[in-house]
Amino acid sequence: MIGLIFVLLGIAALTFTLMHLAPGSPFSSERLPAAAVERINASYGLDQPLPIQFVKYIWGLLHGDFSISYKQQVGAEVRDIIFTGFANSFQLGILAFAFTIFFGLLLGVLAAVGQNTWLDYSTMTLSLAGYSIPNFVLGTLLLLFATTVLNPILPAGLQLPIGGWLQQYGPGAAILPVLVLSLRPTSVLARLTRASMLEVIRQDYIRTAWSKGLGQRVVVIRHALRNALLPVITVLGDELGNLITGSIVVEQVFVINGLGQQFVRSVQDLDYNIIMGTTIFYAFIVVLINLAVDILYAFVDPRISYTKARA
């Protein structure tokens, strides 16, 4: 736990340092007289020495105070801004994660079971291709396809919304963004699951299971897949973090008002508190996911115990 706090503090300090290294201040771009900028800085406490500002910020953070926005929505609580934006990013990330788990595992298992068949080759080649197409290219091309080809031939009620998110446009709005966001992690997961399954399938206990006369489904799912899951879980943890925190481009392409978009804007505006708040918040999520992965290990593999000292 102390490690986690250290990590979060480190990230806060790193972001804080970088942010204040950036030329200018939040108000230097507003063409105000120097005296006015000074007064504004003083009223926000930005005239104090940086270490004191940092300590004050962290102290506030420990009390749940994310401070206020200086530029984006002047005076608004950063906590509210983060939660509003994050709600959309989180829905998008979770949906993409569910898609990733389902199709990644399915394709990986199928490829492993049919090793060296056309199914295996096509899955592996496609997944490498899926891994290679950048989000923004695929998203843009799919949008193009939806507007010019798909929507004109679909009946009026079934047309895909172009941009926007669930609240305004209903579940249809999720199809393309989720597809685009999950393609890369799905490819990663499929390849990894296949590799892990291939190792497990060669084990003696799988041969035993076969020779006991168990059905294919039982052997593949209960005996092989469960044992192949350990390396998969590590990667799944990383991917969940990426999906939740890395949807910036998909948000941009599909005009979803998420936290990623908000972050890019506030970096350009040097809205200090949003930058700090978002990075710390995201880092906190990543750290939490890593913790969850560690705990999940113990469930999947009972041999792992955290009470003993780790090597």
What are the backbone dihedrals phi and psi of residue 226, each rounded to the nearest 5 degrees, phi first? -60, -35
Q: How far is CA 211 from CA 204, 219, 223, 293, in A?
A: 10, 10, 13, 34
Look-up of token digits 């579940």: 171
15 lies in the binding site for another protein (CB under 8 A)? yes
Chain positions 149 to 208 lying near another protein, rule: CB under 8 A, are 195, 198
Q: Answer for the pair 123, 192: CB distance below 8 angstroms, yes or no.
A: no
The angle subtended at Cα 89 by Cα 151 and Cα 9, nearest 5°, is: 160
Find the length of the chain.
311
Select the residue interacting with another protein from 29, 117, 122, 132 (CB under 8 A). Answer: 132
Could you give the CA distance from residue 86 to residue 71 in angstroms, rounded to a whole number?
A: 19
- Rounded Cα gap, residues 239 and 274, in angstroms: 24
| Site map 32..71 versus another protein, x via CB under 8 A | ----------------------------------------
Angle at 138 between CA 166 and CA 252, to 5 degrees: 50
Residue of the chain from 5, 6, 59, 295 that contacts another protein (CB under 8 A)? 6
- 1 near another protein, rule: CB under 8 A: no
Indicate whether 292 belongs to the interface with another protein (CB under 8 A). no
Is 240 a binding residue for another protein by CB under 8 A? The answer is: no
Nearer CB in complex with another protein: 7/58? 7
Nearer to another protein, 38 or 284 (CB): 284
Q: Where on the chain is the footprint of another protein (CB under 8 A)?
A: 3, 6-8, 10-11, 14-15, 18-19, 21-23, 115, 125, 128-129, 131-137, 140-141, 143-144, 147-148, 195, 198, 241-242, 245-246, 248-249, 252-253, 263-264, 267-268, 270, 275, 278-279, 282-283, 286-287, 290
